[in-house]
Amino acid sequence: MWISGTSQYAIRAVVHVAAHGVDAPVRVGPIAEALDVPRNYLSKTLHALARAGVLHSERGPRGGFQLTVPPSRLTLAQVTAPFEDVKRKHCLLGRPQCGGAHACAAHARWSSVSTALQQYFASTTIADLLDDARAGRTPPTVRARPTGGPRRATSRRP
């Protein structure tokens, strides 16, 4: 199982909203700046999460995004669901069918890793990530870009 750059952005953004959007909605601009994510791309990602029922979107000067459910009831699988199916096992070598008589060379070793990843996404909540950040086990805001995600355009001058 692989997760896309969009799913990585979604997780990071939802964690940010959970941490900062308790009393009032969080606007796209401050989230994009805090996470060092392209604003337009993040806006589309957040709106997809709102359509999926993960976030509530409020328009207007006091608008922004908030969680629709408590962080303790929101799993990583729910956050990534609008962008990919993390419940489905993916072949490490990219084969469309893998297993049984059609097993790839990596199947026996990869299968247990893939199952563990599925269980992690299904059982880990946003609250778990917030608790880990508060306990100092992980940084609360990671500014590194996910692998394969969009890059901001930069002007190159000779």
Domain boundaries, the chain: 5-85+125-134
Find the radius of gyration of the CA atoms of the chain. Answer: 17
Per-residue model confidence as pLDDT tens digits over 93-147: 778 888 778 888 888 887 888 888 889 999 999 999 998 888 877 654 544 445 5
Architecture field, domain 5-85+125-134: Orthogonal Bundle (1.10)
Rounded Cα gap, residues 2 and 19, in angstroms: 26
Q: What is the pTM of this model?
A: 0.79
